[in-house]
Structure 1
Amino acid sequence: MSGRNYIGIIVFAFIILALSYINYFTAIASNYGDTLLKLIQASVIIMLAYLVNSLIENIIGKQVHDTKNRYTLRKVVSVIITLLAAGAIMIVFLKETTTLIVAYGILSAGVVITLQDVFRSFAGGIVILFSRTFQAGDRIQVGDCYGDVLDINYFHTTLMEIREWVDGDQYTGRILTMPNSFVLDSTVKNYTRDFSFIWDEVTIILSPESDWKKSRDIALQTTNSLIEDYVEHSKKELASMERKYMFTSYDVDTKIFLFVESDRIEMHLRYVVDTKQRRYVNDLLTQGLLDAFATEPDIIIGSISSIEITKMP
């Protein structure tokens, strides 16, 4: 303990000794003996609470290295010990049980209201720990916040942010620190829990006179050659999910859906990909499709209004 803590204990010990001397060795005790005894007991309670709080603060200071967590834990411990000490002092001074319960209830309610955010964050941490809503390494979304979970502690969850001004689910470089209370009243979208893949789409615009059947076959062949491993692993994870959830397996094979407009044909290429490789695979796939279509004179990328600009050589 620090020198300040030692001084505080010495002061309380001196007060206890002084009150004890007055109570047992002076004539004052005959008139105020009951009151003096209560003061001695209250002083002992305060000194014990001060001692316990100092010891726990020292332990927290040695074991908890994060500044925010250390401050929050010390604050919570101090409040709890103060609440217990105040309750014990009430027991000493208040003899009527009903009065004691009412006073203790009012004090407890005041403390809870004052520190409701702290208690909610701590409760949220307990929920995360036991429900395993997410864990370190998962990619999650909470409201407008997206990121990979870096750390989960008693009161806060730390994320490495993605999106915002950066496209393709890539990192922005910012660290997000969120109080764990969000898990109590917000929807947590987990991109990687139990199933670490997502479905992504690439839209291909063709001119109306393009050979759409050949385009479809080329797109399917190019895509399947790039994502073969993803399809295989995603099927295994889906099979595992069937044993855990009431779940009917989705078809993870690559699909193409056509949509015809007056001046174009839209091909929506749907494929499965690792959550954290989305932009990388999208780029590889786009390059592969452009290279494949470039050798086909009967496939024109673009709509009628943009044929002169986007027609492949």
Structure 2
Amino acid sequence: MNELDKIKEFLLENPTLVNIVKYALLVVFILLIIQILRRFLRKNILDASARYKTQKGVEIFGYILLVILTFSYFTGNIKDFSVAIGLFTAGIAFTLQELILSIAGSIYIFVVKVYKPGDRIEINGIKGDVIDVDSVYTTMMEIGEWVTSDNYSGRIVKLSNAFVFKGPIYNYTQDFPFIWDEFDLPIRYGSDIELAKSIVIKIASEMLLDYTTHSKSKWKEVVNKYYIEDAHLDPTLAISLTDNWIQFNLRYIVDFKKRRYVKNQLNEAIRKEFEKTNGKVVLASTTVELIKLPEIKVDLSSKN
């Protein structure tokens, strides 16, 4: 008996091993096709958004195809298919429950459009810009933490997609890519308050005109889509009296990525205009008023 006959006899005596090898080759072939298609799309699609979505579509389709082929491949060798599938599913669900939940989360993210790459979100206490969503993880460029305002910290965070089922998701971008922001201005008592109000409102209205105009059109879409009341989108100014100064609270709407920049521009412009009033409007600072000085007695006489 030659070597070829021995191999044939071995294969005939071990059909299970043959099936496993065939199945492994099939899986490798499909994974290889997925990678080839992803590389082809990456090289030939110029638009970043379209390139990303098509690559993810190929990846998800490939995984679904693998699952279908896996079940169909072993169906012929299992007499009681329903019982076997039940036991198999229970075992997989128990051992890989986090992984399965993550994959389910990725499908949920894409189907329901919870968020997408480019969105700024906060999930599981982590805030940042989404830079990638794959079948298991969401990758974010973190903002905040030890860095003030909405600046990048420099850390890239990978978060399991399972978290979409475990808590709230705050999306700064979806449907309405604007946020409300505010800051306080302390005005000294005795200042020309009406002049100060007109300066603040004029600067805010002029500098924020583009944001206000665009946000109004977006807000109409939000009102038509959701059960929500209309909102005031123009800059507003509220005044309150404190022990030390008159406090101006300026509230306005701004692009979610330009919050820090716009606040700085507003503060600079308002400060310069106040300085041009020649003392009619003065920014206040914390002061201490002494009502009465304590009496101090000094005995300069000396005893010999």
Give distance in 2, aligned partners of 1:64 and 1:119: 23
Aligned to 2:281: 299
Aligned to 2:158: 177
Q: 2:142 aligns with which of 161, 166, 187?
A: 161
Aligned to 1:275: 256
Q: How does 1:70-219 map to 2 (within 5 A)?
A: 91=79, 97=80, 104-219=85-200
**Contact 2:30–2:66 (CA<8 Å) still a contact in 1?**
no
Give distance in 1, aligned partners of 2:138 and 2:8: 45
Give distance in 2, aligned partners of 1:191 and 1:243: 19
Q: 1:42 aligns with which of 9, 12, 16?
A: 16
Aligned to 2:26: 52
Deviation of the 1:43 alpha carbon? 4.0
Aligned to 2:271: 290
Q: Deviations over 1:122-176 (max 9, x none)?
A: 1111111111111221111113211112122222222222112222212222222
Q: Deviations over 1:219-270 (max 9, x none)?
A: 1111111111111111111122222222332111111111212222211100
Q: Deviations over 1:176-201 (max 9, x none)?
A: 22221121222111111111111110
Deviation of the 1:77 alpha carbon? 9.3
Give distance in 2, aligned partners of 1:265 and 1:130: 51
Structure 1 pair 289/182, CA: closer, same or farther in 2 (3 Å)?
same
Give distance in 1, aligned partners of 2:72 and 2:94: 16
Matched residues, percent identical?
31
Aligned to 1:243: 224
Structure 1 pair 83/236, CA: closer, same or farther in 2 (3 Å)?
closer
Q: Deviations over 1:36-80 (max 9, x none)?
A: xxx655344333323323323433454567xxx9xxx99999999
**Contact 2:123–2:170 (CA<8 Å) still a contact in 1?**
yes
- Please say if 1:17 is aligned against 2:9: yes
Instruction: Normalising by structure 1, report the TM-score.
Output: 0.73
Structure 1 pair 14/197, CA: closer, same or farther in 2 (3 Å)?
farther
Structure 1 pair 210/41, CA: closer, same or farther in 2 (3 Å)?
same
Q: Secondary structure at the match of 1:279?
A: helix
Structure 1 pair 150/247, CA: closer, same or farther in 2 (3 Å)?
same
Tell me the number of residue pairs that the alignment of Structure 1 and Structure 2 aligns.
268
Give distance in 2, aligned partners of 1:279 and 1:214: 26
Q: Which amino acid aligns with 2:9?
A: L
Give distance in 1, aligned partners of 2:215 and 2:241: 31
Unaligned segments of structure 2, at least 5 residues:
40-55, 290-304
Give distance in 2, aligned partners of 1:272 and 1:139: 17
Unaligned segments of structure 1, at least 5 residues:
1-9, 21-38, 92-96, 308-313
- Please say if 1:260 is aligned against 2:234: no
Q: Which amino acid aligns with 1:209?
A: G
**Contact 1:16–1:43 (CA<8 Å) still a contact in 2?**
no
Q: Secondary structure at the match of 1:56?
A: helix
Give distance in 2, aligned partners of 1:291 and 1:19: 88
Q: Secondary structure at the match of 1:59?
A: helix
Q: Which amino acid aligns with 1:109?
A: A
Q: Secondary structure at the match of 2:114?
A: coil
**Contact 2:143–2:153 (CA<8 Å) still a contact in 1?**
yes
Q: Deviations over 1:63-112 (max 9, x none)?
A: 567xxx9xxx9999999988877776553xxxxx5xx7556533332222
Instruction: Normalising by structure 2, report the TM-score.
Output: 0.75
**Contact 2:192–2:281 (CA<8 Å) still a contact in 1?**
yes
**Contact 2:138–2:159 (CA<8 Å) still a contact in 1?**
yes
Q: Secondary structure at the match of 1:253?
A: coil
Structure 1 pair 248/183, CA: closer, same or farther in 2 (3 Å)?
same
